Amino acid sequence: MSELIEIEVAYALPENQFLECLKVPNGTTVAQAIKLSGICNKFSEIQPNDKSLGIFGKLVKSEAILRNHDRIEIYRPITVDPKEKRRKRVEKAIASNKKINKQ
């Protein structure tokens, strides 16, 4: 019997989070663990071989072998350019300060 390791599979949406703790055989890949977690059944947009996968914030390939206590993170695509979002936030703050100063 092969040794079991403990891992987590994490996925976050703005309004919902998924975190599944699993015990999987030593030598399990990221893709295999994602399938075992059942997350693909709950979120149809996730595929086990996605390119946007990580372990503790570092990008990994789906065929990466897991180690004990790894947390697989499934990343969503960026929908807004972070620089553009920050620029709009600054513009909004400047506009609200101008309104306050005029009063």
> pLDDT tens string for the chain (103 positions)?
579 999 999 998 888 889 999 999 999 999 999 999 988 888 877 766 767 899 999 999 999 999 999 999 999 877 777 888 888 888 888 888 765 555 5
Residue that the structure tokens 């990221």 belong to: 30
**Is residue 66 helix, strand or coil?**
coil
Q: Tokens 């990466």 — which residue?
A: 64
Distance in angstroms (rounded) separating the CA atoms of residues 14 and 77:
13
Contact 72, 8 (CB under 8 A): yes
| Burial label, 83 (beta-carbon count in 10 A; 0-12, 13-18, 19+) | exposed
pTM listed for this prediction: 0.71
Domains of the chain in start order, with CATH, are: 4-78 (3.10.20.30)
